[in-house]
Structure 1
């Protein structure tokens, strides 16, 4: 064969990057959506007050049935007082006790629960003075815990 009959190798034109195929657009959109969801979640977590997370954890720890009822009641009463002070300020509620405390709780309760006229309110006021071996109805303790749970609000509740 003669050298003049040979031709150079013909190269194909390169494949352009743009426009992308539909699958790449879908992948980019999903990546962007995931990024936005992640950033939104971080922003919500950062906007959440630290005391709220602490209150939620404490509420959960007080639901342990192994704890004596008097310890659970006292813990819940203290937790409710701390949450109220954190939300409304020390001047608004720290000095209240007895019926005045229950009326204030009723007035500021997010679920309009009537603390002043309920067995739960009575337990709340008497919990500080109860002996350690007191026997109480578990249903009343659960009602008090649930009423305080509503007061805390915005928790990531388990179960």
Structure 2
């Protein structure tokens, strides 16, 4: 190779850098799917959060309950909010306890059942403080109760 040939060589030209914009159609599709999934998830979470607001309110009231009658009242109001008046309002005594048993997998001790069924009929003076077993059952029931009519809905909550 002659020395003059080396003088005629030029630098290698780099190709133009590939632009990241505009995006390829596949990326637009992936972004649309991702946003759709995020939106659907957020809407479902929000609906569930609104649907269970009565549970959160009942648990807050339960923490400040000072009597067995108050715990029984909170549970009845929670049942009314969750299941409606047609199903719950007429339940008292043994029927109320049976309904509570059907609406949860929790074990309802006989003493707790007796306290719940009789608490609202006892004399309010002096108020009887709630037993720990009653508070535990009430809190667990509020968190975990399910529809007593359709087993499929119990799995979705």
Both proteins in one fold, TM over 0.5:
yes
Q: SS of the residue aligned with 1:80?
A: helix
The number of residues matched between the two structures is 129
Partner of 2:105: 111
Is there any run of 5+ residues in structure 1 with no aligned partner, and where? 1-10, 20-24, 155-159
- Contact kept, 8 Å, 1:80 with 1:151, in 2: the verdict is no
Change (3 A) 1:143 1:85: closer
Distance 2:82 2:61 in 1: 21
Partner of 2:140: 146
Change (3 A) 1:17 1:79: same
Distance 1:35 1:132 in 2: 58
Is there any run of 5+ residues in structure 2 with no aligned partner, and where? 1-12, 22-26, 148-153
- RMSD (CA atoms): 3.9
- Contact kept, 8 Å, 2:75 with 2:138, in 1: the verdict is no
From 123, 147, 152, the counterpart of 2:115: 123
Change (3 A) 1:120 1:150: farther
Give TM-score, length-normalised by structure 1.
0.56
Per mean C-alpha deviation after superposition, the further-off stretch among 74-83 and 32-41 is 32-41
Give TM-score, length-normalised by structure 2.
0.57
